[in-house]
């Protein structure tokens, strides 16, 4: 197609040069390459941050369960049910995540207003309740998943063995 186009253009006027010939799809793809790369990079960092936060919450709760093994064993020996221990550890993880979410939501509202004032948010509302709600829900779900392994480990402690080891 390019050869035929060059021939037709040469017949019309020899002084006109054919420069950067390509299809509209190629042109659109090239013009969107940089924003697409930035979006993919930002998404990769967001996923990495989500994984690091889940790993951090898991680590803190695992350490807490290891440090409080005697207390958990004693509670279970005195009649605490496995479900109670499971709920206690899960509640602890969700409360830690909720504290982080509250601080993060406050900071994000402030930062989005700054970005909006600087003109960096083009045709985007600074506070989108659907986005903020979806991200909050996602983080809470990840927090429950990250908290579940230490909670199950704590609920499965053998009180007799734990008290004997301590």
What does 60-91 look like in DSSP terms, one character per residue?
HHHHHHHHTHHHHHHHHHTT--HHHHHHHHHH
Q: How far is CA 125 from CA 37, 113, 120, 122, in A?
A: 23, 9, 11, 8
Q: What pLDDT does residue 83 have? A: 93
Residue with tokens 């045709």: 123
Structure letter (DSSP) for residue 24: H
Helix axes 33-67, 129-155, angle to 10 degrees: 30
pLDDT of residue 137: 94
pLDDT category at 123 given cuts 50, 70, 90 is: confident
Name the pTM for this structure. Answer: 0.73
Name the phi and psi angles at 6, rounded to 5. -60, -40
pLDDT tens column, 92-106: 999 999 999 999 999
Neighbours of 147 (CB within 10 A): 26
Average pLDDT of the chain is 87
Q: What does the CA dihedral 137, 138, 139, 142 come to, rounded to 10 degrees?
A: 120
Note the pLDDT of residue 147: 93
pLDDT digits (tens, 9 = 90+) for 1-60: 777 877 888 788 878 777 777 778 888 888 888 888 988 999 999 999 999 999 999 999
């Amino acid at each position: 197609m390019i050869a035929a186009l060059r021939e037709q253009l040469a017949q019309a006027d020899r002084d006109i040069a054919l420069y950067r010939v390509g299809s509209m799809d190629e042109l659109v793809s090239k013009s969107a390459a940089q924003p697409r790369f930035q979006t993919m990079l930002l998404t990769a960092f967001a996923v990495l941050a989500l994984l690091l936060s889940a790993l951090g919450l898991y680590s803190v709760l695992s350490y807490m369960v290891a440090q409080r093994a005697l207390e958990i064993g004693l509670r279970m020996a005195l009649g605490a049910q496995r479900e109670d221990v499971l709920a206690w550890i899960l509640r602890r993880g969700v409360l830690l995540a909720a504290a982080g979410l509250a601080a993060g939501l406050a900071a994000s509202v402030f930062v989005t207003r700054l970005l909006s004032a600087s003109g960096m948010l083009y045709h985007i509302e600074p506070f989108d309740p659907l986005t903020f709600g979806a991200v909050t829900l996602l983080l809470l779900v990840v927090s429950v998943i990250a908290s579940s392994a230490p909670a199950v480990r704590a609920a499965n402690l053998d009180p007799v063995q734990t008290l004997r080891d301590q």
